Amino acid sequence: MARIGRRNRIIVISRSDYLAHIAQHVTVLGDVAVTSLDRPIPACPGWSMADLMWHMGEVLVFWEQVIVKRALDTSELKWIDRPTDTDLVEWYHTGVASALRTLETSDPSMPCWTWTGTQNVDWIIRRMAHESAVHMWDVCNGAGLTPALDSELASDGIDEFLYVMLPHQREGQPVVGGSVHLHCTDVEGEWLAVPSEGTNLLVTREHAKGSVALRGTSTDLFLLLWRRIPSFAVEVIGDASVAERFLLRTSLD
């Protein structure tokens, strides 16, 4: 069960809950995608259900390789070849099942390579919980379904986005030009992002006034940060141009 971090008023998710969410997300993704592998996914232009099934499976298999090899850099990691469309579904289910077992049985504090942040298995587990949530939503949305995301996990996903993804700026994006307050209306979760050195943004977990405030459910704010839904899906209070630049700032590649 998730608990509230009293000091910073954020949701804290247990390792077992992260793992349960990953298992649920990849199962739903596979079950929905297989119904129409050639169906396009609006949230991922140019991608089909098969493409996203391959991507999610590839990511999990890649991280399993990092953990099993105890890799501290990428020099020993092998390229993963995409299976044929005929073999894709079986490959996906076999690969994600193996990856989940590895995540469940590995020491969460074991050092290993990650592309940013704390370099250990725990970091990978949290990253995969949110990666799989986004892509489950992509597949369900592409099939005309309305997937239910866990509200507390979504709040944690906002936190992860702001501390892990936000520092990676898209090339050519203008400075945000103001501060941004994000406020979950259904569960705990408030953050403030303020301009720092150069084009950087400094993020703190607090209730404070910004140039613009983005208020909404944790799920809507999470999807908004990942540019899956438009800004009018949440309440925008203040300078909307700051919000627009903020939401376009992060590289999601």
Residue 168 shares a structural domain with residue 237: yes
10-14, 153-157, 207-211, 219-223, range with the lowest pLDDT: 10-14
Of the three residues 130, 148, 166, the one that is the final residue of a domain is 148
2-11, 102-111, 184-193, range with the lowest pLDDT: 2-11
Both tokens assigned to 29: 């993704």
Binned at pLDDT 50, 70 and 90, residue 191 comes out as: very high
Residue 131 shares a structural domain with residue 169: no
Q: Which burial class, exposed, middle or buried, applies to 205 when counting CB atoms under 10 A from its CB (0-12, 13-18, 19+)?
A: middle
Query: What is the CATH number for 128?
Result: 1.20.120.450
Mean pLDDT, residues 125-145 = 97
| pLDDT surpasses 60 at 5 | no
How many whole angstroms from its chain centre is CA 112? 20
Per-residue burial over 56-93, b if 16 or more Cβ lie within 10 Å, else e, is bbbbbbbbbbbbeeeeeeeeeeeeeeeeeeeebbebbb
Token pair 């700032």 is found at 249
Of the three residues 148, 170, 188, the one that is the final residue of a domain is 148
Q: Residue 164 domain-assigned?
A: yes
Residue 25 shares a structural domain with residue 125: yes
Count of domains for the chain: 2
pLDDT at 172: 86
pTM of the model: 0.94
β-pairing, 212-216 vs 180-184, is parallel
Query: What is the CATH number for 208?
Result: 3.30.1050.10
| pLDDT surpasses 90 at 123 | yes
Identify any residues that bridge with 203 across adjacent strands, giving them in sequence order.
193
| pLDDT surpasses 60 at 8 | no
Both tokens assigned to 183: 């406020």
Write down how long the chain is. Answer: 253
Residue 29 shares a structural domain with residue 133: yes
Task: For residue range 203-248, list pLDDT tens digits in order.
Answer: 999 999 999 999 999 999 999 999 999 999 999 999 999 999 999 9
Task: For residue range 54-102, list pLDDT tens digits in order.
Answer: 999 999 999 999 999 999 999 989 999 999 989 999 999 999 999 999 9
